[in-house]
Amino acid sequence: MPGHKYEKGHKKFEGSGMQKGMKHKATSAREAMEAAGCDPVQAIINIAEDPKNKIELRAKMYVELLQYLFPKLRAIEHSGVGGAPIGIQVSASEELARRIDALAERLGNAVTR
């Protein structure tokens, strides 16, 4: 591709990238917490269960704990045939319409259709 610094399939330069045996930041942080005896999930549980804390903080901690128990759901778009909007058809039976009219009359409200 013109304008790109490297050609497709180029070999990496010597010394570039992560060196063999290097740890990711998350791995290093996890090991440091384990060495210090720190368990962040247990800390969140302690905050959530401490009645001295404000209810808003406790609720936020419980919400934070939920991500360890249930997967986060992604938003999905629903569509009808060929990508058209989904049509919803609602029909009331004549009996239901009659009852609504009778109730509206008793309440003194006129229902127009």
What pLDDT, in 10s, does the model give residues 4-31? 676 777 777 777 777 777 777 788 888 8
Contact between 64 and 47 under an 8 Å Cβ cutoff? The reply is no
For the entire predicted model, the pTM comes to: 0.44
Q: State yes or no: pLDDT of 113 exceeds 60.
A: no
What pLDDT, in 10s, does the model give residues 28-85? 888 888 899 988 889 999 999 999 999 999 999 999 888 888 877 788 877 777 878 7
Dihedral of the alpha carbons of 40, 43, 44, 48, in degrees to the nearest 10: 170
